[in-house]
Amino acid sequence: MSEPIPVVIYWFDVERSLLEFIDTKAYIINFIAKQLQDQDDKNFIIQIAHYIRNKYQYPLTEKNEPATSHEWRYYNQETTCPFRKMLNKIMERLEYEWNRPTKYLFTWKWDYVWQDALMTFRTKYGICIDTAILCTSLLRVRKSVKAYCEAGYVTLPDDPNRYGHAWTSIPDLDILIETTIHDPSKENIVSYKKATTEGINGIKYTPIDRWNEEEYHSLGSWIQVGGFLLAPKSFKKGDVVLWRKKELLKQLKIWRLW
């Protein structure tokens, strides 16, 4: 009997299967991955991991908080007021900059939502789950590479908390790719076995969900660790603020220890 595949809330509050996030069919994903098609699997994995490390960044706001909010605006609707239209034309002819009232046919805002591989590719920014999804998608263009996106938690030295986290894994090759490391002087490929048992520099990885575009495996229970740690408990302002503080603390510690 196959395991039920979890879903997460995506854009516009639409439920999306975990498997749908791993995109191996998009043209640009294939284009990037196939630039390395003449390499053997080992070199291919290294090149993709270092591409994620060198070309992407973890997003922080001006307040030094994880930038997880997204806003969708559909079509800037022009005013129908005759006086306002005439005033706009006058201002344009005078080449005068002024703040026009903006009205959209449709807007939607989320305090937290996963990005898919194409969004992360386009923006060049992503938190742990976003870059892990992109990294796994690129690796899975080559079907011989059994790469997975893993979501779970990390524990840190002298800290009793569990912090929700995500990464890319290739367990059969003993590889874990820490996709939030973006310092070119640091290696983001480590031993999967060591990372999930004794830890890397005191950072221990515990996977709960493992998936790619073809398969899903449950490796643990979110209920046993107090709930889904990879997102705020709710979208109430207090819960979002608390989650962002913990997420930032986790990332600062990972960067410092790595």
Which tens digits make up the pLDDT trace of 216-238? 999 999 988 888 888 888 888 89
Per-residue pLDDT at 192: 98
Q: 180 and 157: one domain?
A: yes
Choosing from 108, 128, 158, the residue where a domain stops is 108
Residue 104 has pLDDT above 90, yes or no: no
pTM over the 0.85 mark: yes
Number of domains in the chain: 2
Same domain, 65 and 80: no
Domain for residue 160, yes or no? yes
Domain shared by 95 and 208, yes or no: no
Flag whether 35 is in a domain: yes
Q: Are residues 183 and 60 in the same domain?
A: yes
Domain of 152, CATH number, reads 3.10.620
145 and 33 in a common domain: yes
Which residue range(s) make up the domain with 104?
Answer: 72-108
User: Which has the higher per-residue pLDDT, 82 or 24?
Assistant: 24
Looking at the fold, whether 34 and 81 belong to one and the same domain comes out as no
User: Are 185 and 233 members of one domain?
Assistant: yes
Question: What is the pLDDT at residue 61?
Answer: 85
User: Has residue 190 been placed in a domain?
Assistant: yes
Q: Is residue 49 part of a domain?
A: yes
Residue 7 lies in a domain: no
Positive or negative, the Cα torsion across 257, 50, 179, 125? positive
Residue 6 within any structural domain of the chain: no
Query: How many Å apart are CA 72 and CA 246, to the nearest integer?
Result: 26
Determine, yes or no, domain membership for 3. no
250 and 141, same structural domain?
yes
Residues 140 and 80 in one domain: no
Render pLDDT for 107-148 as a digit per residue (tens, 0 to 9): 788 888 899 999 999 999 999 999 999 999 999 999 999 999
- Examine the domain organization and report whether 117 and 192 are in the same domain: yes
**Are residue 62 and residue 90 in the same domain, yes or no?**
no
pLDDT mean across residues, the chain: 89
Q: Is residue 8 part of a domain?
A: no
Asked if residue 76 and residue 25 are part of one domain, the reply reads: no
Mean pLDDT calculated for residue range 94-100: 59
Q: Is the pLDDT higher at 194 or at 239? A: 194
Residue scoring higher pLDDT (74 or 243)? 243
Q: What is the pLDDT, as a whole number, of residue 121?
A: 96
